Structure 1
Amino acid sequence: MVREGRPPEGSWTEHYPDLGTEAISFADSTSKEFYEDEREAVFKRAWLNVARIEELPRVGSYVTKEIEAARCSVILVKGRDERIRAFYNVCRHRGNKLVWNDFPNEETSGTCRQFTCKYHGWRYGLDGTLNFVQQESEFFGLDTADYGLSPVQCDIWNGFIFINFDPEPRQSLREFLGPMITGLDGYPFDKLTERYDWVAHNNSNWKIFADAFQEYYHVPSLHTQQVPPEVRDPKAGFTCGHFQLDGPHRMVSTAGRRRWLLPDEYMYPIERATKSGLVGPWRTPDIGELPMAGLNPGGIEPWGISNFQIFPNIEILIYGGWYLLYRYWPTSHNTHRFEAYTYFSPARNVRERIEHEVAAVVLKEFALQDAGMLGGTQAALEYGIVDEFPLSDQEILVRHLHKVSVDWVEAYRREKTPTPAGV
């Protein structure tokens, strides 16, 4: 895909000729066969964000992550050298799951000096080294240096921890992210550490939910109670201010109107009472100078939100003084786990804490309105009656996500079944 912005003239979609403008298929969201190849082509080759560094605050801190699309569990741990590493969550003796509490399929976290297998007591250091084997003399020529935990590629960008299941990734993390995403360098993510999160298990392919946050064409119809008249009027021609593509990644920016200038009927009573809600706290602390060239590359005034969608499955939605993080984890061809996080500057008093909690709850309500469409969309797509769907210029990011997913899968399939010599 082209790495550039919009020209002075022409539609957004036509500026990226590789995308085309014809109707598209959503077979990539209904096919079991496609999903199986997508797991290998995308989720085992792309860099995947799994955590932030605040989740591993000290030496020995660890979290486990269940990655259903890769059919494995991963341990993230901060070592004695302060480095964060990732390992497959598998004991090298008999394959027992190494780190878990009451239920082996549930994620867990904590702090430890070493990892000890519940089954036979093998012990591993924070760097994955096998440090102890019970009754080691009973084994035949066992070299403990050969049986450390199996590593997973791990790297960090601006406090976001990424892993890659490819033992030799084709690009470094920074190369993979590219200039549009790394244009956020300098945004003070490290100052926004008060977090609220929730998880939803949805009956749709992961891309179908991602599509809902890639366009605002649906806003006048779906979110009528929370938007001003100039937006909810279907004849008003509401659209976004800027779309941009960079490699496999996408972004959209919208203009913003101050929430407190809206009539009372366009917000919940709790928003007016707490001065917080859909666009976050009305007052946010000074978090320093923001990298506006990267944050608002279209130069929209007044700027409201920029939504950066990092392929394959995460979104960072920045509102200036706080941000949202979304992750979509496929669990089958037509189900996925949706993780949502809101990040604020730590509250300095009770009022600010209430403002943050209200914003998190109102935003959850807004997202659930989008989630409410998923089951119906997935069910209708699986009827197989229609497989040509026209997309508007405002839906360029929907078109892009599905094209990139198909491109990655087709490239994988070509590698798996190379063309015979001479053909």
Structure 2
Amino acid sequence: MAHFPKPAEGSWTEHYPELGTGPVSFEDSISPEHYDLERKAIFERTWLNVGRVEQVPRKGSHFTKEIHAARTSLIIVRGAQGEVRAFHNVCRHRGNKLVWNDYPQEETRGTARQFTCKYHGWRYGLDGACTFVQQEKEFFDLDTSEYGLVPVRCEVWEGFIFVNLDDDATPLRDYLGRLAQGLEGYPFGEMTEVYRYRSEVGSNWKLYIDAFAEFYHAPVLHAKQYVGEESRKLMGYGYESLHYDIDGPHSMQSAWGGMAPPKDLNIVKPIERVLRSGNFGPWDRPDIAGLDPLPPGVNPSGHPAWGLDSYVFFPNFMIVVWAPGWYLTYHYWPTAYNKHIFEGTLYFVPPKTAADRLRQELAAVTFKEFGLQDCNTLEATQTMLESRAVTHFPLNDQEILIRHLHKSAADQVAAYLDH
């Protein structure tokens, strides 16, 4: 296996002196009091991705999103003029959750001409206006124009729907910054074949982002995924990513490994050889616009062995663009200081043949196995961090984005406390 050295820039971390190079504390991941500050400082004040426009394809299409860290539930809906709107999911009469099915804590989706409260039958249009009050004459000086659904800021970037509970926040595209602009033009909208995974994880939300913020762990944690002598070779070489970049609270890393098919087919499993697919996705790139040439922000090092770019859009949204022509997203939704909901979603160009479908299925189940390995250590990590037997931990140069994530979160809390 070829080993590609670190680019000539030298130490990545030392390019960002504000991050430091000393041991770090993870107290921010084990303190209930700090988590409560993060809820208010981060999740009630930053842009949060809640889905894609394909989830609301036509007038009246809608879905709900539970944002536990902000103590709210939202309705995302396609309006009469094609606009995407967001509202707090609460009836203005007695505060009942407005849109839900059998279990009020579960997210739901559907299509409706209007929203009707299950409790007393108040109705709301797709624009949030109150359109009907049961026995309206029984109320005292009720002006229904003052009792529409409470709107939430909602903007769309490259088909991704974002919300922000802070009415004074900077516009979305400005917030996402340079890294997002470098992705613009990637054919996200062509990749509508979707596979979803969702799980409750017993760790702080930042610790799972940490797990995907470095590939230093890959030769060790994922050793059993390789066949023959591949695991031993990886252990001997170690792993270093090709490129790192930081823009405000956002970051990215670019990694190698994108040869598809691999030069030596003996390093992959027989089913991967037969289907021409695996963890990097189907080997045969789809023939769609937007992949050749790629947008300028993709594979910024221009490395011939480029395999993927992983972007973290603070606080809890990741996009991973893969060289063979597909992408996935990760979301980390906190539910407590030591628990969160992890969502992993894979996006492919719709298959044209049964073989295409099988290749995508293989990539999806392989991703699940890798994802399970990545989260398998987290609950043990959370437990031992909470013991406080050790309070400071060394990070290497490849773990620069871990330093950056925790500093970004801490800076957001500090700004909130100073406000």
Q: TM-score, normalised by structure 1?
A: 0.93
2:382 to 378, 381, 385: 378
Alpha-carbon deviation of 1:179? 1.0
Contact 2:157/2:173 (<8 A) preserved: yes
Q: Is 1:102 matched up with 2:102?
A: yes
Alpha-carbon deviation of 1:299? 1.9
- The residue correspondences of 1:92-241 to structure 2 (distance < 5 A) are 92-169=92-169, 171-227=170-226, 229=230, 232-241=233-242
Query: What amino acid maps onto 2:339 in structure 1?
Result: T
Alpha-carbon deviation of 1:138? 1.2
1:261 alignment partner, SS class: coil
Q: Is 1:70 matched up with 2:74?
A: no
Q: Is 1:300 matched up with 2:299?
A: no
For residues 152 and 260 of structure 1, what CA distance do their matches in structure 2 show?
46
Unaligned 5+ segments in structure 2 are 1-5
2:149 alignment partner, SS class: coil
Contact 1:13/1:396 (<8 A) preserved: yes
For residues 232 and 200 of structure 1, what CA distance do their matches in structure 2 show?
33
Q: Is 1:353 matched up with 2:361?
A: no
Q: Is 1:413 matched up with 2:413?
A: no
Q: Give the equivalent residue in structure 2 for 1:10.
A: 10
Alpha-carbon deviation of 1:284? 2.4
Query: What amino acid maps onto 1:44 in structure 2?
Result: E
Alpha-carbon deviation of 1:292? 4.0
Alpha-carbon deviation of 1:298? 2.0
Alpha-carbon deviation of 1:414? 2.0
Unaligned 5+ segments in structure 1 are 1-5, 416-423
Alpha-carbon deviation of 1:268? 3.6
Q: Give the equivalent residue in structure 1 for 2:393.
A: 389
Alpha-carbon deviation of 1:14? 0.5
Q: Give the equivalent residue in structure 1 for 2:313.
A: 310
Alpha-carbon deviation of 1:295? 0.8
Contact 2:60/2:112 (<8 A) preserved: yes
Alpha-carbon deviation of 1:237? 3.7
Alpha-carbon deviation of 1:385? 1.2
2:310 alignment partner, SS class: strand
* Higher mean C-alpha deviation, range 224-233 or range 378-387: 224-233
For residues 345 and 122 of structure 2, what CA distance do their matches in structure 1 show?
36
For residues 232 and 90 of structure 2, what CA distance do their matches in structure 1 show?
52
Aligned-residue CA RMSD (Å): 1.6
Q: Give the equivalent residue in structure 2 for 1:421.
A: none
Contact 2:219/2:231 (<8 A) preserved: no
For residues 231 and 362 of structure 2, what CA distance do their matches in structure 1 show?
25
Q: Give the equivalent residue in structure 2 for 1:285.
A: 286
Q: TM-score, normalised by structure 2?
A: 0.94
For residues 391 and 144 of structure 1, what CA distance do their matches in structure 2 show?
57
Alpha-carbon deviation of 1:272? 2.2
2:66 alignment partner, SS class: strand
* Higher mean C-alpha deviation, range 296-305 or range 203-212: 296-305
1:18 alignment partner, SS class: helix
Q: Give the equivalent residue in structure 2 for 1:333.
A: 337
For residues 199 and 135 of structure 2, what CA distance do their matches in structure 1 show?
45
Query: What amino acid maps onto 1:81 in structure 2?
Result: Q
Alpha-carbon deviation of 1:263? 5.2
For residues 273 and 318 of structure 1, what CA distance do their matches in structure 2 show?
24
